[in-house]
Amino acid sequence: MRQQVIFLSILLLVISSIVPVYAAVQSVTLEKGFYTNEESFVFVGEEKEGKKSVFVIIRGPGGDFIGMVSDPASDNDGLFSTIPRQVDKFFTSRGTYNATAFTDDQKEDDGFTIQLEYDGNKVAQHEDFVLTLKTIEDKTITEGQTLSFRAAVTDSSLDKLTFSLEKNPPSGAVIDPSTGQFTWTPSATQGNAVGVQYNFDIVVERGAQKDNEPIRITVKDPIVSQPTDNSNDEPKTNDEPKTNDEPKELGIASFVDKTKDPQYYVDRYNNEPKYKEWFDTNYPEYDSIYQAVGLEEGKVTEPKTGQCGEGTKLIDGICTPVDKPKEGGGCLIATAAYGSEMAPQVQFLREIRDNKVMSTESGASFMTGFNQFYYSFSPTIADYERENPIFKEAVKIGLTPMLSSLSLLSMADINSEQEMIGYGVAIIMANIGMYFVAPAMIFYSIKKRI
């Protein structure tokens, strides 16, 4: 019996030495149901131990590396929340993307992976369910009466649903975006004796999925009792409740982000036909885009210099959207070497890339080709750095000369393509000298002495 206990103890010791014990990501998801192109997305989740750095690598529909976000250190309970990054910097083509979360102790292959769907306008987590609205029967009401009902989906277990009205809903009709409670009190001008029909859609969304259900509402005049004889010449009274025919105060439209300049929406309405069509179709109760965003029409002065907002360019007097160069992903090797995406050295490399190299067309073209080469091997090296502390320190030492040479570029005042090319060639030659020529000369001198 004693021998069996000793043998079992040795076996458990061997197994524990072979199987690594490390912090592991247990869950990851988007912080909210979906993010539009203008928003910044955030991943949240949980890892087994606390105070660990968490990285999330995003790969495109073809498996190619798109970029990486991170949380430098999760809290004591192991909950993490990544640094916000803008959607259109990472997602440029429609399709299914993979997002893999892992800690310093893990490899990407051992991480927690979820799928994201991008439809060209928004990104959301792919979920395995079918979103379907229940059928809504046609309704008939009288002017001045209130119609109220709740739209619902067939799967009652689903939460985080967003309801809305589309395809010319009648003025005054509203639906609670969270509960699906529809309410409408038609005014005295929205019906007649025969009945005015209103056809529109009730829409529900959850993540990337969307479903709509058509509805028809007929509005009639209130029925007025007629006199039984002509002997009563007194004015006839209508016992129906009086309605307030005065228009309701609309206020700012629901789609307006109050943190943005209202002129942003006016510019889009004036310069983007599709945006204009969308607004006119979905918000007919507003007299103009100015009223919807809270501006007085005619009091907004156009820029005298002909300047347009970010992401647009003045062409023939019209602010036209222009393509922006795609922002590169994070520096995986440097991030793994210095332990965090927020390390000063990593931020320095990011600032050089975004503020210097990407500021010119030649620099942007160089980064496009360099990224394809760099991200073909950098995830493997970053994984090995996290596994081998000695290799990690060696990489730190190896990065020092490059950081020193790039400091010259950070101090340079680049105003033209020629200057960018000149500085770029000089720095590339300097790094070739430090990393290849100098070590070769030292090796040759030592060999000659021996």
Confidence at residue 335, expressed as pLDDT on a 0 to 100 scale: 83
3-class secondary structure, 188: coil
pTM: 0.40
Question: Which is nearest to 268 in space by CA: 314, 313, 307, 319?
Answer: 319
2-125 and 130-225 agree in CATH topology: yes
Confidence at residue 317, expressed as pLDDT on a 0 to 100 scale: 54
How confident is the prediction along the chain (450 residues), in pLDDT tens digits per residue?
A: 555 545 555 555 544 444 444 568 888 989 888 899 999 999 999 988 777 788 899 999 888 888 888 887 778 888 989 989 899 888 989 889 999 998 877 778 888 899 898 989 989 887 777 889 999 999 998 888 899 999 999 888 888 889 999 989 999 999 999 999 999 999 878 888 778 899 999 999 887 688 999 999 999 877 543 334 444 444 444 444 444 444 445 678 877 877 778 887 888 888 878 788 888 888 888 888 888 888 876 554 444 444 565 555 656 555 655 544 444 456 778 888 887 777 777 777 877 787 777 777 777 778 777 877 877 788 888 888 888 889 888 888 888 888 787 777 777 777 777 777 887 888 888 888 788 888 888 888 888 887
Retrieve residue 164's tokens.
């809305």
Q: Are residues 129 and 155 in contact, defined by beta-carbon separation less than 8 angstroms?
A: yes
Confidence at residue 347, expressed as pLDDT on a 0 to 100 scale: 78
Confidence at residue 7, expressed as pLDDT on a 0 to 100 scale: 54
The conformation of residue 225, written as its DSSP 8-state character, comes to P
> How would you classify the pairing of strands 209-220 and 139-142?
parallel
Please give the Cα distance from 216 to 92 (Å, whole number): 38
Confidence at residue 174, expressed as pLDDT on a 0 to 100 scale: 94
Confidence at residue 370, expressed as pLDDT on a 0 to 100 scale: 80
- The CA-atom distances, in angstroms, between 260 and each of 39, 93, 255, 256, 280 are 12, 26, 11, 8, 21
Domain 2-125 in CATH 2.60.120.620? The answer is: no
The domain locations on the chain are: 2-125, 130-225, 252-324, 332-449
What value, to the nearest 5°, has the Cα angle with vertex 414 and ends 412 and 418? Answer: 120
> How would you classify the pairing of strands 174-175 and 181-184?
antiparallel
Confidence at residue 291, expressed as pLDDT on a 0 to 100 scale: 86
Which amino acid appears at position 443 of this protein?
F
The conformation of residue 228, written as its DSSP 8-state character, comes to S
Confidence at residue 15, expressed as pLDDT on a 0 to 100 scale: 47
Confidence at residue 170, expressed as pLDDT on a 0 to 100 scale: 92
Retrieve residue 417's tokens.
């393509």
Topology classification of domain 130-225: Immunoglobulin-like (2.60.40)
